[in-house]
Structure 1
Amino acid sequence: MDQFNDKIENQMHDYDSEEKDQILENFNHFKQFLSHKVDQGEKMGLSEEQLANTAEMVANYLMKHEEPRNREEHLLHQLWQVADKEQQHTLAHLLIRLVQQ
């Protein structure tokens, strides 16, 4: 799993600042990006649990390396900070379900 975590983190680092800005500038762009990545994961045969684990890794990366850029991201940032590990995992599941609709 550590190799998978490293791969996710490397992919996140590979986005240049302009790409990150486009994705994170508003919450709808972020949801579209996440929806596209969830769709790709589903086509690869990932389960909802695997998708949530990946979303959790991305969220942890964003917490460490990116500042929230809009109200929705600020809210998610605050929720992530006060949540314990189990609650963060539940939030990751909820984000996956949000973009699957």
Structure 2
Amino acid sequence: MAEQQHVVNKDGEVDLNKVDNTIERMDAGRKDEILQSFDEFKSYLNKRIAIGESIGLGEEQLAKVAQKVAGYLAANEEPRNREEKVLQELWKVGTEEEQHKLAHLLVKLAQAAD
């Protein structure tokens, strides 16, 4: 999949510096579709997590990517529903450690979306 080629380097390590670029390249219409519904957002994350797991990413690597994505969304996207608003508010008041824990929880939440 094209997204993993941009974020995961040839050694299978996640390049967190490329996460923002990958998000910014996403088609605006598709981004709106994903973020419009919280269920769609969880489903999208679930699929991306499954891809990450299939190429050998562990829970910590997945959480680091989720933390980077959540930070990007909190800084650059307006919440489109109540759930996203709550997540954004929690993100903004949390310390970096708390944000990392929240990222782990987001990964678990998305994994449970099956």
In structure 2, the residue corresponding to 1:40 is in which secondary structure? helix
CA RMSD of aligned residues (A): 1.1
> What stretches of structure 1 move > 6 A for 4+ residues in a row?
none
1:58 to 47, 63, 69: 69
Report deviation, 1:99.
1.4
The percentage of aligned residue pairs carrying the same residue is: 47
In structure 2, the residue corresponding to 1:45 is in which secondary structure? coil
2:51 to 27, 37, 40: 40
Query: Which is bigger in relative contact order (C-alpha 8 A, separation at least 6)?
Result: 1
1:12 to 9, 23, 28: 23
Report deviation, 1:29.
0.5
Counterpart in the other structure of 2:10: none
Unaligned runs of 5+ in 2: 1-13
The CA distance in 2 between the partners of 1:53 and 1:93, in whole Å, is: 8
Structure 1 residue 68 and structure 2 residue 79: aligned? yes
Report deviation, 1:36.
0.5
Q: Which amino acid aligns with 2:56?
A: G
Q: Number of matched residues? A: 99
Report deviation, 1:4.
1.6
Question: Which structure features the higher share of helix residues?
Answer: 1
The CA distance in 2 between the partners of 1:14 and 1:42, in whole Å, is: 23
Structure 1 residue 86 and structure 2 residue 87: aligned? no
Deviations along 1:34-67, one digit per CA (max 9) or x if unpaired, are 0001000000100100000000000111112111
2:42 to 27, 31, 47: 31
